[in-house]
Structure 1
Amino acid sequence: MVKPRWTHSKVMLIADPQMTDDKSYERHWLIMALTKFYSALYMKRNYRHLNYQLKPTDTIILGDLMDNGREWQDDGFFDKEVQRFHTIFPPNNHLHYMAGNHDIGFGQRINATRVDRFEHYFGPTFYTFEKHGFLFVVLDTVSLCSNESAIPLLDNIPQHPRTLLFTHIPLYRAASQTCGPYRRQSRSNWILNEAGYQYQNLVPEHLSNLILDKVKPLLVFSGDDHDYCKVIHRDNVPEMTLPTFSMAQGVRFPGLMVLDLAQEGLSTHLCWLPDQVELFIQYGYLLIFTLVCLFPWRSGTNQPSLSKEELGITQPTTSVGLKKHVLSSLRYVACVAITTYIFCLCMF
C-alpha cells in the first residue's frame, strides 16, 4: 500500500469583502466614488501582498462577495460588477466562493434567479472537496435557513475524520456565550440572535444541531458578523467567525484567517490588517504639520538681503505678498506630492 504524500499547506480564509457599490451608502457622489476606490484598493493590495508572502494553496471567500449583489436586477451591470470584483480577487482554480445573504438574499426574499446568476459566475453554493487530507464542506446555510426542504442534501455529505465546515451564517449559540478576547467591537462581546431585512445573525438552533450531527465537523468557520468570535459547541467543536476583509464594513481592523494543514493536524492563525482610517488621520496631521512649517519658512526667505542704506528706504513686505509666496510654495508641494502619490498608486 502506497502511503499518501503529505505536504505542509496553507489555506487562506476571507470573509465578507462586500465590495462597495453605488447603493452601499447614501453619500455625495464624490465621497461615494472615493469610498469605492479606496475600499477596493485596500482589499486588492492586501490580497496581493498576502498571496505573495503566504503563497496559500487555496483561498476560500466565506460569502457576501458584493454589498448589493442581491439588489442588482440588470444582469449587464451585475456582469460589470463581477469583473470589478475579479480585479480585486483575480480568479484561479484555487479560489473557492461561498454565497452570502448580500449575494442572493435571505428568507422569503431569496430569488431563484439571483441564485442561478451567482452560480453562473462563482460556482455552486453547496459543495465539498477534499484536499491536504481534509474534507472541506461549503454549506449554503443562507438557503437552508429559508428552505428546509434542502436539508436532505446534508445526507449526501461523505463521512470523513477530518471535516472542516464553512458556513456564511454562524451556528446557533446561547446568548451567554461570549466571543473571547480578540473581538474588536466594544459594543458587545457576543453575537445576538437577531433578524431583520434580508439577514439573520444565527442559524436556528434546531438546524444548527442537525448540521453538527450530520457533518460532524472538526472545526467550523463562519462569516457575516464582520468581527471575530470564537465559541465552543457541543462535543467540543470550535467555531471561529472571521472578521471582514474590508475597511468599509464598520470595523477599524479588518482581518482574515490562515489554516496550516499537515499530517499531524492543523493550526489556525488570526491575522489583522492595518487600520486604514488611522492612516488617513495621520495623513491629515502630516498635512497640517507641513503647512505650519511652511509658513515661517516662507516668511524668512521673503526678507530682502540689502544694505543698511537700502533697508532704510525699502518698503516692508506686505501680507499680500507673503500670502502669494506661501501659496506658491503650497502649489509646488502639492504638485510634487500629488505626482508622487499617483505614481505610487499606479506602481504599487
Structure 2
Amino acid sequence: MTSHYSSGYGPASHHRPQRHIDHDSSFFDDCLGFLAKSTRSFWSFWTARGRHMAFQSSVNMLRQLRHNLSWRRLLSLPHLLVVIWMIILLWGERWVYHTKVESCHWSSWEKWPPGAQPHRLILVADPQLIDPHSYPGRPWPLNPLTYMVVDNYLRRSYYQLQEQLRPDTVFFLGDLFDGGREWKTAQGDFKDPEWGQHPKSEQQYVKQWNKKYGHDYWLQEYERFEDIFLDPWIEAGDAAGPGQSGRKLIASLPGNHDLGFGAEIKLPVRNRFEAFFGDGNRVDVIGNHTFVSVDTVSLSARSSEHASQHDLEAIYYPTKVFLDEVQTTKRRAVEKELRHLRGETEGVLLNHTIEETGKVKLNKPPALDPGPGKAELPSILLTHVPLYRPPGTPCGPMREHWPPTKPSKGQEGPVIPDHRNAISVSGGYQYQNVLNEGDSVDLIKKIGNVVHAFSGDDHDYCELKHDARQGNVPEITVKSISMAMGVPTPGFLMVSLYNPVDGEGKSLLSEETPTLQTHLCLLPRIGGVFGRYVTFGLFGIVLLAVRACLVPVLKLERFAFDEHEESHKTGSVLPVFKAKIEDYDEYAMAGVAGFSASRFMHGSHGQSRGRSGSGAASASTGGKKKQYKDKDAHRSKWGWGGRGPPKIEIRSDEDEYSTGGKWRPASRGSKKTTLQVVLTEMWTTTWRVAWMVVLFWVWLARRG
C-alpha cells in the first residue's frame, strides 16, 4: 500500500486552503494605524516642547499686539502714510468718478428757452466686457485682475451716470461683449464659414474656446452685463424727468463683437443675442424724435465680396425688409405717440357694427398708419458701424487719438485729407471701420428726414457732416465707455431733446431752431489715476528710507518690533542664567545644601553668597572641604569663577544696542551693525504700509 502525502511543495499542495485577503480592511487598518501613530507623535511633542512653544508664541504675540497698539506707534510715520494712502485710494477708486460726472450736469451746458422740459438721453458705446477672447495669452493671475479693474471702472462710471444725471433714456450702441460671437450656442450650427479665417493670433485658441466656452458661459456674461448696467438703472427708479412719460434702457443694437460682421455672422449667435436683448432693428419715438436703430453689421453681408459666390440672404434679409418698411413703421410709432399725447387710446379702434358678408372690406383693415403726408418727427439714425466717408475725412478737434493737423499759414478750415485725424476706411476679419458707400446712401434715403446719426465701433470721438449724397447728415461717433479700448480718456455722449409739438405732430419751434443738443462727458483717465498712485508710492518709499537712516543717528524709537527690548520694559518671562546640568547633578548628589532652586533661577554671582554657601557645605560635610576647594579651583581654571554651580548667561544680540529703550554703542564682538538696523527699519515700515494699503484697495475693489 502506497502512502500519499504532501510536504506543501509537491503537487498535493493545491489542496491547502487559500487565505482570503480583504484589501479594503487592510487599507482601513493601515489608516487607523497611521492616525494612531501620528496622534502619539503629536502628543509626545506637545507634552515635551509643544505646549511651551505655544505658550511662548502666545506671549510674544500679545507683546507685539500691545506694542502695535501703543499711541506712539499708532501715530508714527508709517501709519500716517497709510492714512494718506487711504484718502488717495478713496479719491482714485470713488471720488474721481463722482467729480467727473458731476461736472457734466445737464444744467451746465443745456441752452433751452426758460420753462423747457427736455428729454434727456445718454448714448453708451462699446462697453465690450473683456473675457478670454480679449487677452488670450495673459497668465491666470493677471487676467482675473484685469477683469476686476475694468469691470469696476465701468460699474463706477455707470453708477454715477445713473445716480447723478438720471437720464430718461439710455441707448447702447453695440459691442456689449468682446467675445460674444466666439461662445458656442446651445442650438444651431456653430461652424465657421469656409471663407472666415481667424487671425493667426487667435487660431491656436479656437478649439479651446469651442470646447470650454459655450452657451452657459455666455449666460454668465449676460448676468455680468446686467450686474454692471441694469442693476444701477433699476436702483435709480422709474420716475422720469418733468414732462416725460417714463424711463427706458435699450441695448438691442448689436455690434460686430456681439454677432460678427457681414458674411461671417452665424445665425444661431444672432438669434441668441436677439432672444435676450430684442430685435436689432427697431423704431422708438423718444422726446418727440423718431429713433431708428439698424443692425448694420448684418446689413453689410449684402455688399460683402462673398455675396456673389454664396447665399447670404438669411443674414441680411431681416434688415433689408425692415428698411423697406421703415417709413410705415415710423408713421405707426408717431401716431401711437400722438394719441398718447392727446389722451386717446393708443391702439387701433374697431367699430362694433353689423355688416353683410358681401359688403365687408377686408383689403383695408383699420391700422395705426395714417398714410403719407402726415406730420413727421425728426428722425435719428443709430448704427454700430459709422457711415461711409471719403478716406482722410477729419474727425475734428475732440478726437483724442490724433488731434487735427494744423493748417498751413493763411489756410482756412481743416486740412483735408487728414488721415491721422480720420477714421480709417478699411476692414479685416469680423470688422469694417465704416459702412460701404452704397449701404450708407441707402440707409439715409430709406429712413428719410434724418437730422442726425450716432454710431460707435471706433472707440474714439469723431464728429463730421456728410456730403449731399448722404443728405448732409451730421454724425457723431461716440467714445467707448471702457478704459480697455485703447483710448486714454473714456466717455459717453449726452443728448438733450426739446421739440414741443401740437396734436398733429407739427413742431411749435421755428424751422431753423435746433431740437437736439449734445455734450461729450469725459470720464477719469485711468493712466492719470495710476500715475498718482505710483508717484505717491515712490515718495513714500523715499520718506521711509530717510526715516530709517535717521533712527540710529537721532536715536529715534524703532518701529521694528524688538522682543528683547520689550522684555526689559515688562520683565523677563524666562531666566537669563542657566546652571550647567552636569555640575548641578554633581552638587545635588553630594547633598550640597547651599545650592537652592532660587540660586539656580537667578544665577547669583555675589561673593558673600558664595562664601555662605561654602560654609554651609563645610559644616555638613566636614572632611570634604578640601575636595570642594579642588573643584572650585578646577572651575576657576575653565573661567567659571567663584564657588557654586557654573552658570551660562542667556543674552540677545540686541542687548548690545538697547537697554530700557535707550541707544548705546555696540560692544566689541557684536554682529549687529548700523546698516542692519537701517535695513530692518526700512523693511519693517515698508511692509507695514504695503500690506495695509493693499488690503484696503482689495476691499474697495471687492465692493465694486
In structure 1, which of residues 208, 216, 221 is the aligned counterpart of residue 454 of structure 2? 221
**Cα displacement (A) at 1:310:** 4.8
Q: What is residue 40 of structure 1 aligned with on the other side?
A: 151
1:1-348 superposed matches below 5 A: 7-25=117-135, 26-73=137-184, 74-90=214-230, 94-97=248-251, 98-147=253-302, 148-149=316-317, 150-157=319-326, 158=330, 160-186=376-402, 188-216=420-448, 217-233=450-466, 234=468, 235-263=471-499, 265-303=515-553, 304=555, 310-311=664-665, 317-346=673-702
SS in 2 for 1:331: helix
> What whole-Å deviation, never above 9, does each CA across 1:10-51 have from its counterpart, x for those lacking one?
111011111100120122222222211111110110000111
Q: Output the CA distance in 1 between the equivalents of 2:664 and 2:696.
A: 42
**Greater displacement, 161-170 / 184-193:** 184-193
CA deviation string 1:205-259 (max 9, x = no partner): 1111111111121100001111111111223310100111111111101111000
* Cα separation, partners in 2 of 1:259 and 1:296, compared to 1, 3 Å: same
Deviations 1:256-285 (A, max 9, x none): 100011236120011111110221122112
**How far apart, in 2, do the equivalents of 1:139 and 1:45 lie?**
29
For 1:155, the aligned partner's letter is D
* Paired residue secondary structure (2:423): coil
Which structure's relative contact order is higher, taking Cα pairs within 8 Å and 6+ residues apart?
1
Rate the CA distance shift 1:161–1:94 in 2: closer, same or farther, 3 A.
Answer: closer
User: Is this contact kept in 1: 2:262–2:299, CA < 8 A?
Assistant: no
Q: 1:347 to 1:37 in 2, by over 3 A?
A: closer
Q: Which runs of 5+ in 2 are unaligned?
A: 1-114, 185-213, 235-246, 303-315, 332-375, 403-418, 500-508, 510-514, 557-657
Q: Please report how far the alpha carbon of residue 201 of structure 1 lies from its aligned counterpart in structure 2 after TM superposition.
A: 1.1
- Letter aligned with residue 126 of structure 1: N
Amino acid at match of 2:694: I
Residue pair 1:136, 1:164 contacting (<8 A) in 2 also: yes
Contact kept? 1:141, 1:167, Cα under 8 Å: yes
Structure 2-normalised TM-score? 0.47
- Relative to structure 1, the CA distance from residue 346 to residue 226 in structure 2 (aligned partners, 3 Å threshold; closer, same or farther) is same
CA contact 1:7–1:132 (8 Å) conserved in 2: no
- Give CA-to-partner distance per residue, 1:149-178, whole Å, 9 cap, x none: 442321322253311110000011111421
Question: Cα deviation per residue 1:97-137 (whole Å; 9 max; x = unaligned)?
Answer: 11001001112210110001101111111111112111111
- Identity of matched residues, %: 34
Give me the whole-angstrom Cα distance separating, in 1, the residues matched to 2:299 and 2:273: 16
Give the distance between the partners of 1:162 and 1:247, measured in 2 at CA.
34
**Alpha-carbon shift at residue 7 of structure 1 (Å):** 3.2
**Contact 2:130–2:177 (CA under 8 A) maintained in structure 1:** yes
Structure 1: distance between partners of 2:180 and 2:666:
74
TM-score, length-scaled by structure 1: 0.92
Partner of 2:561: none
**Aligned partner of residue 70 in structure 1, secondary structure:** helix
Q: What SS does structure 1 have at the residue aligned with 2:479?
A: coil
1:84 partner amino acid: R
Q: CA 1:39 to 1:232, structure 2 compared with 1: closer, same or farther past 3 Å?
A: same
* 8 Å Cα contact 2:281/2:322 also seen in 1: no
Consecutive unaligned residues in structure 1, runs of 5 or more: none
SS in 1 for 2:391: coil
Structure 1 residues 6, 140: closer, same or farther in 2, change over 3 A?
A: farther
- Structure 2 counterpart SS, 1:89: helix
Structure 1 pair 170/247, CA: closer, same or farther in 2 (3 Å)?
Answer: same
> SS at 1:224's partner residue?
coil
Question: 1:223 touches 1:241 (CA, 8 Å); kept in 2?
Answer: yes
Of structures 1 and 2, the larger Rg is shown by: 2
Structure 1's 275 and 312: CA in aligned 2 closer, same or farther, altered over 3 A? closer
Once structures 1 and 2 are overlaid, which stretch shifts more, 69-78 or 257-266? Answer: 257-266
- When the two structures are aligned, how many residues end up with a matched partner? 344
Matching residue's letter, 2:144: A
SS at match of 2:292: strand
- Partner amino acid, structure 1, of 2:474: P
Q: CA RMSD in A?
A: 2.4
Of 242-251 and 318-327, deviating more is: 318-327
Q: Which has the higher helix share?
A: 2
The answer to whether the 8 A contact 2:392-2:421 is kept is: no
Structure with the higher fraction of residues in strand conformation: 1
Any conservation in 1 of the 2:283–2:292 contact (CA below 8 Å)?
Answer: yes
